[in-house]
Chains A and B, each alone.
Chain A
Amino acid sequence: MRGKELNISLKGRIAALVLVLLLSLTVLAAPVFAWFSFSRILASYAPISKPESLYIGAGHRDFDETNGVFLNDHFEDIRYLYLEGIDVHNDDTYYDYVFCVFGKAITHYRMQLAYTTNNQFIYEIYNATEYTAAEYGALAQAQQDLCVEYTTHDATPATYYYKATGTALPGNYLNAQTVGGETLATDSYHTATYGAYDEVDKFAEPIYWQTRDNINGNRRGDFIHYYILRVYVNNKQDNDRETDVICIAAKSFSAAS
């Protein structure tokens, strides 16, 4: 190589010089070309809000307490919650109905009620304890009398019993007032409920209620909570076939609220 280099003609030297110049120009130009040439594909990204799995069902759901997982996909649809058999002539002052709130990866939630006031019933929500038929059989008669029965609707129906525990969940009304001995909704949520429509009977204006405290779910897994909805007849004397609508909701809140 060295020998060859020594033999380069003048023309060759000039050629080499020009080539070097050309190359150095290309080196300078290269980043500009590169800059124009790149960026052929774009990706525009955005986070997706994870759906919250929070549901209301009727009675029993198979659940592994130890591991915090549902044992199967079967749950009792909320349509099996029948608010039936309320007899205002009966001596009973209240009727109990079982329902449940279940979900996955929910930090906490609150229970909400919305109901019309034709019947002037009083509604309360209690935590409930579940008993299998065998556990129920072991209870004293007085305890058994406090239970409500629920039979599942899956392939092999089973009967469970639920009893309210403790006191009613504390909560707050958004819009309740007492007028002449009747509990009625104020008009503060009228627009939210009915919009501009204003020919609404005073008993059809729903009262909104929500639990005062957050109820803990299970941030890392499944959970199920049973509740008793207790309906007080509230001294109503007439079986006048009045109809009320009651909505039960469970609403999850972010951790900070």
Chain B
Amino acid sequence: MISFEGKTEKRSLMATAASMGLVIVILVFALFYIIFGHTLGWFASNDSVEAEGMQVAAANNGYEFVVQRTTEYDSLLNGEPKYEDVALLKSTLAAAPYHYDLTAVSTAAASKLAYELQNDAPFRDDNEYWYFLMPGACGSMTFYIHPFSSEGVQANMELTLGCFGVVIDENDRRVVREVTSENVLNMLKGHIIFFTERRVDANDPTDTDKFKYNGLITDGTISYDTTQHTPTTMTLNGEQISVYEITLYWEWPLTYYDISEKTGNTAFADRYPPELLTYMNAHRNWFFAVNQNSNDPDDLSDGYNDGDQMIGESANYFAAFISPIV
């Protein structure tokens, strides 16, 4: 093989490469390593690039997300979009830039992916099912972790909630913008709550009234150690890969009384786990838009309803974001 010891030799190599128009290519790849941090010793002609790269992600603890897309929110009804402003939402997501293409199953060429949240409690109107988020709705969010290494990965992730509202911009155009009001974002954390576990009724598994939850996500973090789980195989871009499925369960409790009366003393004793009450009392301003300091259930119920109203008036679309904590 070739020797890289001689300084002169190296220079002559670079000169040759330059004459062949390859320096640009080298720079491009150097850039790749800076961004993605794959250390490939045999090509590390630039020490500083290598060092910088290693800080971002070591080759054996990285992972990517894989999702499966559904197309309910792209449906048409009588030739019109069934869900108003979904095209506007997508153009806002695309500017972020999130990829939401329907056809691409893989994660290729996308650092950010957007896909539909699963809603298990549609309402029926005129023989048509509508998958809107609203008080009383519940569902799930599934994604897959694909570790880069067969040794597995300890994935620490952050769950954040956001929402998008339709506004008329300065040019009089109808646009969808991410809602930045802290009050509204706080209200999301108290009204659209996420769990890591859900049990269904054995005899009636689709009856959403019989769902029971556990594993309330209180601090917006999720940890998943793939070495403690069994992977499943999926075909991605024609290749068989091992992935780990993570499903989170969300619910928008219908009323304050649903929370106060359906929270059990132990996990799965009732619909909600005991920590929900602790969480609610620790973050009253996330649950109640008014009457936060009251202990009268009717006042709290009013406050919760006003919180629902605040979300509904501010937001046309909800989004749950998952990002790795590095």
CB interface residues, B 28-61, toward A, < 8 Å: 29, 32, 35-36, 38, 43
Question: Are B93's CB and A43's CB within 8 A?
Answer: yes
Question: Are B110's CB and A38's CB within 8 A?
Answer: yes
Question: Are A41's CB and B322's CB within 8 A?
Answer: yes
Question: Are A51's CB and B16's CB within 8 A?
Answer: no
Any B CB within 8 A of the CB of A45: yes
CB interface residues, A 16-36, toward B, < 8 Å: 16, 18-20, 22-23, 26-27, 30-31, 33-36
Given contacts A15-B2, A41-B322, contact A47 B65 (CB under 8 A): no
> What distance in Å separates the Cβ of B250 from its nearest Cβ neighbour in chain A?
9
> What distance in Å separates the Cβ of A70 from its nearest Cβ neighbour in chain B?
15
CB interface residues, B 88-106, toward A, < 8 Å: 89, 93, 96, 98, 106
Interface range for A: 35 or more
Residues from chain B with Cβ under 8 Å of A27 in the complex: 25
Question: Are B13's CB and A51's CB within 8 A?
Answer: no
Residues from chain B with Cβ under 8 Å of A5 in the complex: 16, 19
Residue of B whose beta carbon sits closest to that of A104: B313
Binding-face segment, B114-122, B227-235, B271-279, B281-289: B114-122
Binding-face segment, B202-210, B262-270, B304-312: B304-312
Residue of A whose beta carbon sits closest to that of B40: A26
Any B CB within 8 A of the CB of A50: yes
Interface range for B: 35 or more
Any A CB within 8 A of the CB of B15: yes
Residue of B whose beta carbon sits closest to that of A12: B12
From B62, B107, B131, A47 is in contact (CB under 8 Å) with B131
Question: Are A42's CB and B112's CB within 8 A?
Answer: yes
CB interface residues, B 109-165, toward A, < 8 Å: 109-117, 119, 125-126, 130-134, 139, 141, 143, 146, 148, 163-164
From B115, B116, B126, B133, A257 is in contact (CB under 8 Å) with B126
Given contacts A23-B26, A45-B116, A47-B86, contact A15 B16 (CB under 8 A): yes
A147 to B267, CA, bound (A): 61
Question: Are A39's CB and B111's CB within 8 A?
Answer: yes
Any A CB within 8 A of the CB of B20: yes
Question: Are B317's CB and A47's CB within 8 A?
Answer: yes
Question: Are A48's CB and B311's CB within 8 A?
Answer: yes
Given contacts A45-B317, A48-B312, contact A40 B141 (CB under 8 A): no
Any A CB within 8 A of the CB of B87: no
Given contacts A26-B29, A48-B133, contact A42 B22 (CB under 8 A): no
Any A CB within 8 A of the CB of B83: yes
Question: Are B43's CB and A37's CB within 8 A?
Answer: no
From B115, B146, B312, A44 is in contact (CB under 8 Å) with B115
> What distance in Å separates the Cβ of A7 from its nearest Cβ neighbour in chain B?
9
Residue of B whose beta carbon sits closest to that of A9: B12
A257 to B108, CA, bound (A): 44
Question: Are A20's CB and B318's CB within 8 A?
Answer: no
> What distance in Å separates the Cβ of A24 from its nearest Cβ neighbour in chain B?
10
Any A CB within 8 A of the CB of B17: yes
> What distance in Å separates the Cβ of A229 from its nearest Cβ neighbour in chain B?
26
Question: Are A42's CB and B317's CB within 8 A?
Answer: no
> What distance in Å separates the Cβ of B72 from its nearest Cβ neighbour in chain A?
9
A15 to B96, CA, bound (A): 44
Residues from chain B with Cβ under 8 Å of A16 in the complex: 13, 16-17, 20
Question: Are B111's CB and A44's CB within 8 A?
Answer: no
Residue of A whose beta carbon sits closest to that of B66: A39
- Which of B84, B134, B309 neighbours the largest number of chain A CB atoms within 10 Å of its CB? B134
Given contacts A5-B16, A8-B16, A11-B9, contact A49 B312 (CB under 8 A): yes
Question: Are B13's CB and A23's CB within 8 A?
Answer: no
CB interface residues, A 226-254, toward B, < 8 Å: 254
From B2, B19, B115, A4 is in contact (CB under 8 Å) with B19
CB interface residues, A 38-86, toward B, < 8 Å: 38-51
Residues from chain B with Cβ under 8 Å of A44 in the complex: 67, 114-117, 141, 143, 319-322
Any A CB within 8 A of the CB of B324: yes
Question: Are B321's CB and A19's CB within 8 A?
Answer: no
Closest 8 CB pairs of A and B: A39-B107, A49-B132, A51-B312, A46-B117, A49-B134, A37-B36, A16-B16, A42-B322
Given A38-B64, A47-B73; 4 other pairs, CB 8 A cutoff: A40-B64, A47-B83, A47-B84, A48-B311
